[in-house]
Amino acid sequence: MADRPVPPQVPYRFERTHAAAEVVARWGGIEAGTETGETVAVAGRVGLSRPQGRVGFAELRDWTGSVQLFALDGTTADFAGFSKLRLGDWIGARGEVMKTRRGELSVRVSEWVLLAEARRGFGDKWRGVTNPEIRYRHREVDLWANPQARRVAQLRVLLLRRLRERLWERGFDEVETPMLHAIPGGALARPFVTHHNALDIDLYLRIAPELYLKRLVVGGLERVFEVGRVFRNEGISHQHNPEFTLLELYQAYADYRDLMVLVEELVSGLALDLLGTTEIVVDGGRIDLAPPWRRATMTELITESAGIKVDVHSPLEDLRRHLRAVGAPEPPAEWGAGKLLLELYEKTTERELSGPVFVTDWPVEVSPLARRHRDDPDLVERFEPVIAGREIGNAFSELVDPDEQRARFVDQARQRAAGDEEAMILDEDYLWALEQGLPPTAGLGLGVDRLVMLLAGVDNIREVIAFPTLRPGRDELT
């Protein structure tokens, strides 16, 4: 760290007239060695700087891109100071747009001002920062030093914007529901616990917004969605962060088939918005997201990928035998055909599915909020969209019958008593709401982080979350 004096006066604002990308877009085509007579003011961080005696060059980088600054002793104010700018310093600069003899579009700086200094280094100017610990703990460094990190962040920003726009276009209203739940519900997961002092009660960070969103549908909001964080107290992996962003939406008068159409249009549309193509590359393989996606039942897919002919009506012992044959650990004795079938699917099939495919018709035992299948009472009308072996969401025709919902909750309570900590807890307020009448409704959850991962072509969820959950570090990295 240098003993450079703190700038005596950093201005409170800077009047920027053009982003770097705007300068490039407007004047990028001019001839080498020409001047435009147009003055602009740009601002950003100094990238590579090449002071060279009585002339100097520096890359000015902002969120949109970069443009070269060209300084000359005699015409650039405080030329000596300009020559001493360091990698990462923020400056604002005013000058004429021109192109150097070598053909580099530049702003010939007449005046400039230091907006903030970078007292700390920003890593190797060529290789950036690759140490994952620094990249995740100090994302601000990563974002500046590594173009890939910037690209992913920009992709995520754009995805969230276009996602909302596409839902608004379809008549969905964005709403907000509580994050602090007295009863954690809407998903099978273990919650984080917290405490409210004034009420002196434990509260849970939500594991899903589902039950509240459906209560809004009961209240008459026919198409709602929420994009927000949910929290699940489970292990961390390259596919899992304890807090992650979920899109949930509910559409009255629709069933799960309608949502399949919605999902394939939404996801392929977002791919077009962000990438200009529906084709993505995952693990070196190409996957086309253009509709229509294949629809196949869970049992069909198990048979297809593992050669095992079973379904939810198969004898328990058959299902257990197949699980043993694929090397799965012995499941608990109380598991029914539904859980066993799902286990078999996850062990043998899910990972093999390149997709995109809608895996449909799930066992009722593992779907306590979904409506029974119109053709088979042991199944529900549910699907998960799978791309590259990864579930990116979950959707179903919603269970609307309060009596049956109560029975499902009671069944969950039984599983919970048997030791399943992820089983749901009976929620009287939710049942009360159902008794007011939930119209036929279809609901969807989409993992936003996983969607960003697919479209950005990264295989670690930490790459798409600006500040992923880490153990608190010691002070040596500060």
Partner RNA sequence: GCGCCUCUAGCUCAACGGUAGAGCAACGGACUCUUAAUCCGCAGGUUGGGGGUUCGAAUCCCCCGGGGCGCACCA
Position of tokens 């086309």? 288
CA 262 to chain centre: 19
Instruction: Report whether 224 contacts 217 (CB < 8 A).
Output: yes
Are the beta carbons of 465 and 244 closer than 8 angstroms? yes
CA-CA distance, 318 to 339, in Å (whole number)?
13
CA dist., res. 377 & res. 391, Å (int): 25
Residues 406-445 that bind RNA (CB under 7 A): 422, 445
Q: Among the candidate windows 71-79, 154-162, 306-314, 374-382, which touches RNA by CB under 7 A?
A: 71-79
Give CA 148 to chain center in angstroms. Answer: 16
Shortest spacing between CB 135 and RNA, in angstroms = 8
Amino acid at 252: A
- Minimum distance, C-beta of residue 266 to RNA, in the bound complex (Å): 16
Q: What is the largest CA-CA distance in the chain?
A: 89
Q: In the window 293-312, what residues touch RNA (CB under 7 A)?
A: none
Interface with RNA (CB under 7 A), residue from 255, 300, 378, 391: 391
Query: Contact with RNA (CB under 7 A): which of 359, 450, 454, 458?
Result: 450
Specify burial of residue 85 (Cβ count, 10 A radius: 0-12, 13-18, 19+).
buried
Q: Provide, rounded to whole angstroms, the least separation between the CB of residue 122 and RNA.
A: 7
The β-bridge partners of 444 are 249, 395
By CB under 7 A, residue 84 contacts RNA: yes
The residue range among 8-16, 102-110, 276-284, 298-306 that interacts with RNA, by the rule CB under 7 A, is: 102-110
Q: Among candidates 395, 424, 432, 429, which has minimal Cα distance to 184? A: 424
Give the helix/strand (H/E) hosting 287.
strand 285-288
CA distance 476 to 478: 6
State the SS3 of 289-312.
CCCCCEEEEHHHHHHHHHCCCCCC
Closest CA to 298 of 362, 393, 374: 362
Of 2, 6, 199, 333, the residue at the interface with RNA (CB under 7 A) is 2
Smallest gap, in angstroms, from Cβ of residue 331 to RNA?
9
State the virtual CA torsion across 405, 408, 414, 415 in degrees, nearest 10: -130
Closer residue to RNA (CB): 56 or 92: 56
Which lies closer to RNA via its Cβ, residue 169 or residue 330?
330
Choose, by CB under 7 A, the member of 62, 384, 398, 427 that binds RNA: 384
CB of 253 to RNA, least distance (A): 25
Q: How far apart are CA 133 and CA 454, in angstroms?
A: 23
Cβ at position 363, least distance to RNA in Å: 14
Q: Does 460 bind RNA (CB under 7 A)?
A: yes
Which part of the chain contacts RNA (CB under 7 A), choosing from 155-163, 176-184, 317-325, 391-399? 391-399
Residues 223-282 that bind RNA (CB under 7 A): 232, 234-235, 237-242, 244
Nearer to RNA, 48 or 428 (CB): 48
- Nearer to RNA by C-beta: 218 or 341? 341
Query: Whole-number minimum distance, CB 105 to RNA, in Å?
Result: 8
Residues 28-47 that bind RNA (CB under 7 A): 33
Spatial CB neighbours of 13, under 8 Å, sequence gap ≥ 6: none
447 binds RNA (CB under 7 A): yes
SS3 158: helix
The per-residue DSSP string of 330-362 comes to PPPTT--HHHHHHHHHHHHTGGG--S-EEEEEE
Closest C-alpha among 268, 189, 243, 212 to residue 443:
212
Taking CB under 7 A as the binding criterion, the range among 148-156, 288-296, 354-362, 456-464 that sits at the site for RNA is: 456-464
| CB of 104 vs RNA, minimal distance in Å | 3
Q: How far is the CB of 361 from RNA (least distance, A)?
A: 17
Stretch of 195-203, 280-288, 403-411, 468-476 contacting RNA, by CB under 7 A? 468-476
Closest CA to 146 of 158, 157, 134: 134
| DSSP strands (E only) in 151-233 | 173-174, 180-181, 193-196, 201-205, 223-231
Site for RNA in 111-150 (CB under 7 A): 120-121, 123-134, 136
Nearer to RNA, 14 or 57 (CB): 57
Rounded to a whole number of angstroms, the minimum distance from the CB of residue 436 to RNA is: 27
- Which 180-209 residues touch RNA, going by CB under 7 A? 187-189
Cα–Cα dist 222/234, whole Å: 33
| Member of 9, 285, 476, 478 binding RNA (CB under 7 A) | 476
Among 18, 43, 45, 68, binds RNA (CB under 7 A): 68
Smallest distance, Å, CB 378 to RNA? Answer: 20
Radius of gyration of the chain (CA): 28
If the CB atoms of residues 184 and 393 are measured against RNA, the closer one turns out to be 393
Give, as ranges, the residues between 342 and 361 that touch RNA (CB under 7 A): 346
